[in-house]
Each structure stands twice: as structure tokens, then as C-alpha cells.
Structure 1
């Protein structure tokens, strides 16, 4: 099956571990559901956070969903002046029979403003 990259993002209301986990899990579950994926379809996941998120790693939230065997990585976004704050982004690599045009990218909460062309 082809390997596809699926993008998404969400925002937090506050930098708090439990809230970060809830929003990250919401995002991951939405990407998986929107693209009819199973955990075994997922090859790897890269998370990034804006520099104002320091309460925990988004990957820890994904592991709580059963992603323990999936390679996960976290990184920090560039600190661009005026950028949307408290953003968690995801780039999920998955094996799927969907074409690139059939992939659904997921943007939640205030992150919809980042890619109105891709947001549902």
C-alpha cells in the first residue's frame, strides 16, 4: 500500500498536561477516524508544539491511545512573532489505499485558521 502523510493541528486553551493530552488524543483520534485507519496502518507520527507548550510531550498522549509500538517524535515549532499560540501539530505517516486527494487533513479548534483550505 502507498505511504501517505496526513497533517493536522489543534490548539490548547492553556498549557496543562491533562488538557494537552485530551486535545492531542482528540486530534489523533480524528485523523485516524477521518482516514479510516487502524493503528497497524500507522508507520510513524511527528508532533510539534509551539514554544509556549512545555507541560508534556504530545507523544505521551498518543501512547495512552495504544500507539506504544508506533515510532513517535516530538519537536518544537519555530518561534515566529505573531504566530498562533498553543498549537500542537501532527504529521502522521500511514499506509493506506487512499490517493493523496482522498486524504483528510484535520484542523480542530482555533487551528482551523492555520489551513482553512484543508479544514473540514
Structure 2
């Protein structure tokens, strides 16, 4: 069965190094909390808010060992007035037998405000 696993993290500035570190931290936390093997990942969508344009966050996933063949797509998050700024989001589609309610969604740093109802992770 395919399940979606969500994650988000904020960065302090539009800086490629900060964005890369944040994306890697978020990805590693999502993988660890959900025991993800890249062979089970159907695809991953990554988005960044329009104030983050220093690098493509999807590049981080592509560079990880075992993730070379996972289809990834980078896109810009909708620019909604009052929306969270400097935010990178990941949606992974994973083949798993884990029940929907047991999926561990990961919201780090300022992104923890996005889904307080799913706060199963720590900052």
C-alpha cells in the first residue's frame, strides 16, 4: 500500500548551505522515524516558499546513497498571505504496510506550527 509521509522545516535565511543542511536534516528525520528504505519510495515532492531560491532542495535527496532512482520533483509552495516563511516541505510516497495513523510526520523548527495535531516529532 502507498502512504504519504509529510515533513517540513524552516530555515533562517535564503542561503544554499542552510537550505541544504535543513533539507538533509528533515529527510534524515523522516527516514529514521518511519524506517524508510529508498527502494520502497515511489516518489518525493519537495517544495520551498518563494523566499527560498538559493538552491533546489530536491538535489539533496538525489545525492543520497540509494536515492538515485527515486523520482523527485521540486516546486514552489503557494505564496499565501500570512503563510509560513522560509519553509521547505517534503511529501514522500512510500510502499508500506504501516497503518495511516502510525505514519510519523515530521515538522521541525518553525514548521511545527503547520500541523500541531500531528506533533509526534521533536524539534
- Alignment-derived partner of residue 19 in structure 2: 20
Task: Measure, in 2, the Cα distance between the counterparts of 1:113 and 1:8.
Answer: 12
Task: Measure, in 2, the Cα distance between the counterparts of 1:89 and 1:118.
Answer: 15
Secondary structure of 1:9 counterpart: strand
Q: How does 1:28-47 map to 2 (within 5 A)?
A: 28-47=27-46
Unaligned segments of structure 2, at least 5 residues: none
Normalised to the residue count of structure 2, the TM-score between the two structures is 0.93
Q: Does 1:50 align with 2:49?
A: yes
Q: CA offsets, 1:24-53, max 9 Å, x none?
A: 011111111111111111110000110001
Task: Compute the RMSD of aligned alpha carbons.
Answer: 0.9
| Cα drift, residue 61 of structure 1 | 1.1
Task: Measure, in 2, the Cα distance between the counterparts of 1:33 and 1:41.
Answer: 14
Task: Measure, in 2, the Cα distance between the counterparts of 1:65 and 1:24.
Answer: 12
Unaligned segments of structure 1, at least 5 residues: none
Instruction: Count matched residues.
Output: 119
**Contact kept? 1:6, 1:103, Cα under 8 Å:** yes
Task: Measure, in 2, the Cα distance between the counterparts of 1:62 and 1:69.
Answer: 10
| Cα drift, residue 119 of structure 1 | 2.1
- Alignment-derived partner of residue 76 in structure 2: 76
| Cα drift, residue 64 of structure 1 | 2.0
- Alignment-derived partner of residue 99 in structure 1: 99
Secondary structure of 1:19 counterpart: helix
- Alignment-derived partner of residue 118 in structure 1: 118
Task: Measure, in 2, the Cα distance between the counterparts of 1:87 and 1:59.
Answer: 14
Secondary structure of 2:88 counterpart: strand
